Every structure is written in C-alpha cells, then in structure tokens.
Amino acid sequence: MSNTKKIAFIHNSRMPATKEKAEEVIHELSLDDRVWVASAGDLPDSAHELENTSLVVVVGGDGTILRAIRAISPFNVPVVGIKMGKVGFMAELNPEEAISRLPEFLSFISQENQSETAIRVEERMMIEANIMPSSGTQPRITVHALNDITVGTSKAARLVELKASVNRVHLTNYRADAVIISTATGSTGYALSAGGPIVFPEAQMMILQPVAAHTGLRDGLILAPDSLIELEASDGYQASISADGFVDSVLESGEKVIIRRSPHTAKFLRAHQPDFFYTALNMRLGLAYRSQRPPEDPTT
C-alpha cells in the first residue's frame, strides 16, 4: 500500500478514555502528520478520508469495531482493534501494549512483500439485508453487518410472527421475540445468548437462530454462505430490523427482509495465528476451570 495514504484512529464518542488513548498512541509514535481521527459515529461522513486510508485503528470495544466496520468495509481497508471494552473478541491489542506493538502493523501495511512477515490479514464474511417494499423491485433500505441481522418485534413485551423462507422454500412461521441471522463472527454475540452454537470466526456460513421461540422451529440452523433468507411479518404483526445491534428501521406493512452474503468483507490484521481464537474464547468467556486446592486427606 502507498505510504502517502493515512492512518485512521477511530474512537467511541461515549467513552472519552478511548479518544485519550488514541491521542496518546499518536503522540508517542510521532504519527501526527500521518493520521486523521474520528468517532465511529462520524465515519459514514468520512468517505473521502477512507478512500485515502491504508489502516484503521479502532480504540474501543466490539461495539465500536462493529459500527466502524459498517462504514469501512466498502473501502477494503484493514482494521486493528485496541481493546477498551468489556469483551473484546475482535480486538488484537490491549491498551498496555498498543504503543509497543502497533509499529509491527504499521510496518506491515507499508511493505510490498507482505508474505515475509508474521502479520496476516484475516477476512471475515459479512451479510447484507435488503428491506423490500410490497410493490417494486428496489430496496427501501440496504444494510450490511459483520455480526448479525435481527428481525424482531417493534413493541415491548410482544411476540412477532415471521414467515421464514430459505432459498425461496418456505421453512416455518416463527412466533418469537426475534429471529437472528448471524455470521460466524456473530456466533459469540446475540446468537450465542439465544442458544446458538459457537463457530470458528473465519468460517463461511450463516446461522438462522430464533430468540425465545413460542411456536415454529425452535432450533438454530447452519446455512450455506450463499443462502437467501426471507423474513416477513404475518398480518397483524409489526417488526423491526437491526444490524449489529443498531436499530435501522421499523418494517412497514407488507415489507420483506431479504438477507444474503454481503459483497463486502471485514479485514483484520492479526499477529496471532487462527487457533488463538480458542485461547480468546477461554479468556473472554472464562471457560477454563480455575486451579483448585488439592482434596483434603480423609485420614486426617
């Protein structure tokens, strides 16, 4: 990549400490003349800057990364995350090591022969949802997501009934709180809390997972990556759609949500090898047994 391109530092506007950390890293690494800084919420208005960006450093939690990816992915720019959130499945660096280790990633993007370094580019599948009106062939809204698309009730304490089809074949009518269409990356998010499986994040697939299903299919389904999923609220029900946890729209009567593989992918720079996911899973979810004291001698 060209050295004339800049580096973006993206922070969470609701967490002042993330901007402070970004400014600290920029100052300590003497990057002032090579960077631009913005909040994740301002990224949709930063297309011109993203066209001339070689690396995005996101300082924050997974939610900040998800919001940033939605704006970044069309520009094919890789991301490095500095974890300042609660879980941090997607971030590569801890705040304490950001200054010492970020130069490795800066060096990688400036190299012509990137295969000679331990840094690798990890690509993750994204999904696209189109809200189609009852008449017409053009979507009213198109959204892209790295984690998941959720179609659920638009009213508190109410179920929604959703007619679900896969590849134009009617599957079932869900009466549930919501239906999640998740990527492998999103399998450790909302889909996991709804009872879905944990999937290796670089896998190419989709998960169709109901949330608190009252009737219809209660189990999740693993679908091929090129599947076409259609969801439509039955008469008398109103639904809404969200992408990666951000509410995008309430569905109008007769509208259908069509979910498919996105043409965009999320690109992360990684120093760890792929199997580090299992270590991260252990650390983030606390899966390993803690060491215990040896059992007492029954003879004493």
Give the angle 25-27-33 at the CA atoms, nearest 5°: 110
- Of the candidates 162, 127, 123, the one whose C-alpha atom is nearest the C-alpha of residue 143 is 127
Task: Determine how many CB atoms are found less than 10 A away from the CB of residue 180.
Answer: 26
Task: Determine how many CB atoms are found less than 10 A away from the CB of residue 119.
Answer: 18
3-class secondary-structure state, position 174:
strand
Residue 124, H or E segment: strand 120-132
Instruction: Kindly give, in sequence order, each residue whose CB lies less than 8 Å from that of residue 44, ignoring residues fewer than 6 positions away.
Output: 71
Residue 21, H or E segment: helix 16-28
3-class secondary-structure state, position 166:
strand
Q: Which two tokens stand for residue 92?
A: 């590569």
Give the chain's radius of gyration (CA, Å).
Answer: 21
Contact 8, 38 (CB under 8 A): yes
Backbone angles phi, psi at 284, to 5 degrees: -70, -35
62 labelled catalytic:
yes
Choice among 32, 62, 244, 275 that is catalytic? 62
Q: How far apart are CA 51 and CA 228, in angstroms?
A: 31
Contact 12, 41 (CB under 8 A): no
Active site residues: 62
